[in-house]
Chains A and B, each alone.
Chain A
Amino acid sequence: MGMRDTVADLAAAWELPEETLSREASIRLTRHQAVAEQHGGLLGYEDECVELRSGRGRVRILGRELVLRAMDRDTLIVTGHISGVEYA
């Protein structure tokens, strides 16, 4: 049982969102837009994939014609035809 699982268990026990106790990125998806909050930085940016750091792991936003619409320290907005999100 790792640290990540412990935090997840604690959040579940206290009925809190997991991202409030960890450094994991919170991603809100709509059909053509993904808003990532509390991201740990941009690792890669291409037309078909935007890769972010999330806590100790990585998150990939996959799709077509992806555009980095806005980005600052906390929030990142990606628009385009989003097909999925991968955690690694």
Chain B
Amino acid sequence: MRRAARFLRGGAEGRLTGADTARFLRRCAEEGLLLENVIWEEPFTCRLTLPLRDWEKAGILAERCGCTLTLIRKAGLPLAARAARARLFLTLGAVLVFLGLMASSLFVWEIRVTDNRSGVPDGEILRVLSEQGVGVGSFWPGFRPDLIRSRALAALPELSWIAVNLRGTRGLVQTRGRVAAAPIRDPRAEADVVATRAGVITGLTVLEGTPLVRRGDAVEPGQVLISADRPAGAAGHARRVHAAGEVLARTFHELSLSVPLETAEKTPTGRGRDRFGLLWGDKLYFFSRSSGISPPACDKILKIRHLGIEGLFSLPVAVVRESLRPYEAKPQERDAAELRPDLETELYERLRQEIGEEGEIISAFFTERRDPGLYTLTLRAECSQRIDREVLRETNP
């Protein structure tokens, strides 16, 4: 408390040297000067603190008492205020910067999608939010979260949930995709079971309907395997049902991939050039007047550095560095043997997608072909898989 009072009124710390320091101290007290922290340093020397305004008076008293009073340092609010007056423009600038920072912290200066668990692209989400008034330069105290969420979800039906979290002046968007509902199977609708691809039937299980094929038959894609028509018999009159069953078949697959054996590799030529600019909100200003159109065979790299504290606070200004790096495209031969493992992996992946999770690969082999500048790898496989699919009569009359 005493220290705070001393700072507010300002204090001067000095060193008193003399034969009769007690006399000086007594005279100071008689004159009403407030002495503080009188500490002996040596037998005839002590350190003391006086109010700033009494310093000159204390000097005169010290001289009268045959002592020497030397200044060690001065500190306190009056000195700071005097220094601020001397640097008026600097102080004003600091105050303006502080006010500017306070005002700018009420706006969103950076917005990005940090957690997107939906099939909707980030850009599309940001565009819809921007239409709701949530974008760079938005006044965040005016946000109405419920309204933003309901409008954004109405505009993006693929989303089930969206949130905009504010961290200082940064808006972080999180989304979750909608889980598609399974199609409802109507058991009263008339439907056939048809083949999804060509094959030889190896197993047939009929749950409803009339089978039109037998084990060992070869079928074509789209061919009806189990019919919805149920003929009249002992059970009653002819009628149409929703056919159902499982049809297992041996299928044959042929998949090919081709890659060029000659590619162009970029080789840097020369230093290129850089130019700097500022990104204010969503507007970009470059310092130089040179054209931003890049010449052919030239990489254009844009680096944007937002000013502020990473993860906490972002200013409306970002420094932009645009680099143009010229290159020369040199043709380069690729070795087919190096390409083959990647192609095999890719072809197997595609085959597994075609036969589904329940399908099995019975046998498979690769053949390769080399044309001028082109390498082709072909996978031929024999598989066992389900080929049945229910098709409603209305769509397949």
Interface centre among A44, A68, A69 (most CB of B within 10 A): A68
How far in angstroms is the closest Cβ of chain B from A65? Answer: 10
Is the CB–CB distance between A42 and B39 below 8 Å? Answer: no
Q: Which segment, of B25-33, B86-94, B147-155, B214-222, faces chain A?
A: B25-33
A56 interface residue (CB < 8 Å to B)? no
Is the CB–CB distance between B29 and A68 below 8 Å? Answer: no
Instruction: Name the B residues within 8 Å of A45 (CB-CB).
Output: 21-22, 25, 38, 46
- Of residues 15 through 44 on chain B, the ones whose CB sits less than 8 Å from some CB of chain A are 21-22, 25-26, 28-40
Is the CB–CB distance between B36 and A73 below 8 Å? Answer: no
Is the CB–CB distance between A71 and B35 below 8 Å? Answer: yes
A43 interface residue (CB < 8 Å to B)? yes
Is the CB–CB distance between B38 and A67 below 8 Å? Answer: yes
Instruction: Name the A residues within 8 Å of B2 (CB-CB).
Output: 70
Could you tell me how many residues of chain B have their Cβ less than 8 Å away from some Cβ of chain A? 19
* Complex CA distance for A49 and B141, rounded to whole angstroms: 66
How far in angstroms is the closest Cβ of chain A from B61? Answer: 13
Is the CB–CB distance between B40 and A70 below 8 Å? Answer: no
Q: A42-B22, A43-B22, A44-B22 are in contact. Are A71 and B28 (CB under 8 A)?
A: yes
Is the CB–CB distance between B26 and A42 below 8 Å? Answer: yes
Chain A-chain B contacts (Cβ-Cβ < 8 Å), number: 50
How far in angstroms is the closest Cβ of chain B from A64? Answer: 13
Instruction: Name the B residues within 8 Å of A47 (CB-CB).
Output: 40
Name which residue of chain A comes closest to B33, CB basis.
A72
- Of residues 36 through 88 on chain A, the ones whose CB sits less than 8 Å from some CB of chain B are 41-47, 67-73, 76
* Complex CA distance for A46 and B30, rounded to whole angstroms: 20
Name which residue of chain A comes closest to B34, CB basis.
A72
Is the CB–CB distance between A71 and B40 below 8 Å? Answer: no
How far in angstroms is the closest Cβ of chain B from A70? Answer: 5
Is the CB–CB distance between B26 and A41 below 8 Å? Answer: yes
Name which residue of chain B comes closest to A79, CB basis.
B37
What are 19 inter-chain pairs, A to B, with CB distance below 8 A?
A: A41-B29, A41-B30, A42-B22, A42-B25, A42-B26, A45-B25, A45-B38, A45-B46, A68-B38, A69-B37, A70-B34, A71-B25, A71-B34, A71-B38, A72-B32, A72-B33, A72-B35, A73-B31, A73-B32
> What residues of chain A have their CB less than 8 Å away from a CB belonging to chain B?
41-47, 67-73, 76
